[in-house]
Amino acid sequence: MKLLIVSATRLEIEPFLRKLNIDITAENSTFQIEATSLRLLITGVGMVAAAAVVAGELAVNKYDLVLNIGVAGSFDKTVALASLFYVETDSIADLGVEMGQKFIPITQLGLARQEDIQLMANPGDFKQRFEHLPKAIAITKNTGSGRVSIISYLQRQFKPKLESMEGAAVFYAATLFKTQCIQIRSVSNYVGERDKRKWDLKGAVENLSGFLVEFLESIT
């Protein structure tokens, strides 16, 4: 099996690399774990970097599964920090224009269809391995949401539980290359909360690491 693990930053997968004694300086490298060929891809932050790097990799190498993992903000403050979610759909939420105090999404401008900006997970043969995780609707933006008016708009327009800066872009690249793709997110903070003393980044990345180890054990 050929598995591509995608993360925006090394921080988000570093505990996983330590547990498997993988050289964490070799960020974009391929490792063999029993029958699984595992490649790690660090894209950098944001949609442009994520889409470009993943598309570049898929253009030259074929994989059985792209597994995109990382932290996310939660719109739902009843969700416990460090909770894991399987992202079913992820929408590009900041394509559009500003008109006065209003934001008009690109779909309302007639420049894109809903299916162009709303991307779906494609678990294919691996669906059953993720069914134990709670499901979530997510959005992707290049700017973390902070203003109350923007957060309210996003909740009305997309009804999301999670927000990240790369998720939909990875789905987009995988869709272009007809490759099975999964996104797993761990909640590091609540959307709009900039005080990092109220985050749980450490717990979020540790839980991602635990998930990755269990997943690898299930397929090797």
How confident is the prediction along the chain (220 residues), in pLDDT tens digits per residue? 999 999 999 999 999 988 888 776 655 588 788 888 999 999 999 999 999 999 999 999 999 999 999 999 999 999 999 999 999 999 999 999 988 878 888 998 999 999 889 999 999 989 999 989 999 999 999 999 988 988 999 999 999 999 999 999 999 999 999 999 999 999 999 999 989 999 999 999 999 999 999 999 888 7
Task: Answer for the pair 125, 180: CB distance below 8 angstroms, yes or no.
Answer: yes
pLDDT for res 27: 56
d(CA 202, CA 104): 36
d(CA 219, CA 125): 12
pLDDT of 103: 86
Q: What 3-state DSSP class applies to 216? A: helix
Q: What is the pLDDT of residue 35?
A: 85
Q: What is the pLDDT of residue 7?
A: 97
Which CATH number do you get for residue 142?
Answer: 3.40.50.1580
- Residue 5's CB is within 10 A of a number of other CB atoms, namely 20
Q: Which candidate, 167, 166, 190, 168, places its Cα nearest to that of 74? A: 190
Please give the tally of structural domains in the chain: 1
Q: For residue 26, what pLDDT is reported?
A: 56
d(CA 19, CA 213): 8
pTM: 0.94
Please state, in angstroms and as integers, the Cα–Cα distance from residue 110 to each residue in 98, 153, 189, following that order.
15, 19, 34
pLDDT at 19: 86
The domain in which residue 10 lies consists of 2-219
pLDDT at 149: 87
